[in-house]
Chain A
Amino acid sequence: MAATISMLKGASNSPVGLARSEENVWIKRGLIIVTLLFLGFFLFLPLAAVFSAALEKGFGAYFASFDDPDALAAIKLTLIAAGIAVPLNLVFGLAAAWLIAKFNFAGKSVLLTLIDLPFAVSPVISGLIYVLLFGLQGWFGPWLAEHDIKIIFAVPGIVLATVFVTFPFVARELIPLMQEQGSDEEQAALVLGANGWQTFWRVTLPNVKWALLYGVILCNARAMGEFGAVSVVSGHIRGMTNTIPLHVEILYNEYNFVAAFAVASLLAILALLTLVAKSLVEWRARQELAAALEPTMIKD
């Protein structure tokens, strides 16, 4: 929520000078050591454990874990779910951000709270609500059964649950940025004769591209890694309705630890790539901001 928004702003434009940190040098060192120990224990150790357990029996056993049709089916399903969820929420994010940033209307703050709602809902409940709608005993259950449409314990349910849990990601990154930017540039474009779509493509989109990219990266990471919600609607049918995280669970519960951690390491690599991409996007956004703030005189 607010935390992810502030991430983009980063530790950029702070006027931190040496004069401000005036603690005793030992307190300072102590706090740095506490930070390193705490993060080492809670962040570095789990990450290292994944790769260590995956490679416990060597690279041969590691790569053999992926030579399994069920693992490949899980990877394929995860790509499908993310491939549908991310574009849907991207379009929604743009529409919602345009609406909220460019217009003043009654009920705006209620709308903002409702967009955040999926963040407040437990992943398990996110799955449950779709079971209540489309499950056999659900609202539409009998109708769906009559028409031989399967949503729960099938791919559509997994896609729906993924769309739900990743719903606010793009919108949450775009809204604060577009609110801050206001609509002066758009108004100028319109006055100069551009139509609405031209204004959107040529003015708004370039202004928000880094936040947009960041939202998409976060949305994708969550879509590929979601476990609880997908677990409820999937039915765990091997080779059919298993995503990568569910496949990890099955392997782990079968005490097939090397394979479980090997498949998990794929997701860990994805997480690390997400963090790298996030840092790059922040860096680019900061550079552009700095370039924009630079007085034009210095440029020529």
Chain B
Amino acid sequence: MKIVLKQASVIPGFGLTLGYTVFYLSLIVLLPISALFLKTATLGWGEFWSIVSNPRVVASYRLTFGASLVGALINAFFGFIVAWTLVRYSFPGKKIIDALVDLPFALPTAVSGIALTAIYSSNGWVGRYLEPLGIKAAYTPLGVTIALTFIGLPFVVRTLQPALEELDPATEEAARSLGASRMQTFLRVILPAVFPALLTGFALSFARALGEYGSVVFISGNMPMFTEITPLLIIAKLEQYDYAGATAIASVMLLASFAILLVINFLQWYSSHRYRTGV
């Protein structure tokens, strides 16, 4: 059997666009990223392991993963409510609120970082009310979680909105006419249908939070073993010209991101596949 590398087409420009796309992609993305892995490969296994399992580095993984996870969970819960409200209900100012959901995408991270710090520091708009309760937000892991929730917020809302819109009202009608209560309809009919989208939004929000730097560094206070996130540790190593250390930690983070990217791709394939076969 002959392997078909490219289906015949009357449209011109295959060679040109393929050549340019691959060239530009290699130059800007692939070559630099492979530099990172090649640099890591020059470290011995022992050296690599001692860098990436150093207690200060492990503490930063714990904070980065933990805060990203909590942030993504908060976003999954409230993002669901926001998406539901925006799709199903009408209320004054809805269009403006819908547009504002993308603010964390559009607002530069340094700006959101200093703004969140100003709000949650002990004399800030929210911080001053938390302080008497014994809750410190700025310069603690709580502050890191708040920043990571902020930057992941649009993902869940924006992946759920189209899924909720596409739901066929007839299935809900059917559930109701068969005697299901509203809650049963929600749990058994609506939730399973939009669950892949919810999971995708959650994973996107988590992935974005893992690598986030700008919005966190101001509110975290950057204390080693306490509020130091992994991306910051990479920068700290670089500033000491410890390229090997920075590279080793970066390759761990990069592998984690790739793993999540694979999961997201799988989820998207799964939900579109399921949708197509109508199961």
Chain A interface (Cβ < 8 Å from any Cβ of B): 1-4, 6-7, 9, 11, 14-17, 19-24, 28, 31-32, 34-36, 38-39, 41-47, 49-50, 53, 88, 92, 95-96, 98-99, 102-106, 111, 113-118, 120-125, 128-133, 135, 137-139, 160, 163-164, 167, 183, 186-187, 190-191, 195-196, 199-200, 218, 221, 224-228, 231-232, 244-246, 248-249, 252, 257, 260-261, 264, 267-268, 270-272, 274-276, 278-279
Contacts and interface: CB of A to CB of B under 8 A. Distances in A.
Contacts of B5: 105-106
Interface string B15-32: 011101110110011111
Given A32-B89, A53-B118, A232 B182 contact: no
A98 B18 CA distance: 9
Given A46-B116, A92-B21, A131-B238, A183 B108 contact: no
Interface in B76-133: 78, 81-82, 84-89, 91, 95, 97-112, 114-116, 118-119, 124-126
B153 interface: yes
A11 B84 CA distance: 12
B115 A99 contact: no
Given A104-B9, A125-B231, A248-B111, 13 more contacts: A4-B158, A46-B107, A49-B124, A92-B21, A95-B21, A102-B13, A103-B7, A120-B258, A128-B246, A167-B29, A225-B107, A227-B214, A278-B99
8 contacts: A47-B103, A111-B21, A120-B261, A123-B214, A129-B36, A227-B214, A267-B108, A267-B110
A128 B234 contact: yes
A124 to B, nearest CB: 4
Nearest to B126: A45
Nearest to A225: B108
Contacts of A125: 36, 211, 231, 234, 250, 253-254
* Most chain A C-beta atoms within 10 Å of own C-beta, residue among B21, B25, B106: B106
B193 interface: no
A1 B105 CA distance: 11
A227 B29 contact: no
A120 B253 CA distance: 10
Nearest to A47: B103
A22 B176 contact: yes
A22 B238 CA distance: 57
B88 A20 contact: yes
Given A122-B257, A232-B235, A260 B114 contact: yes
B143 interface: no
* Most chain B C-beta atoms within 10 Å of own C-beta, residue among A111, A114, A130, A226: A114
Contacts of B220: none
Nearest to B232: A124
Given A132-B35, A132-B243, A117 B238 contact: no
Does more than half of chain A's interface fall in helix, strand or loop, or is it mixed? helix
A105 B6 contact: yes
Given A2-B159, A2-B204, A124 B98 contact: no
A1 B158 CA distance: 10
B19 to A, nearest CB: 9
A248 B110 contact: yes
Contacts of A47: 103, 107, 115
B164 to A, nearest CB: 8
B1 interface: no
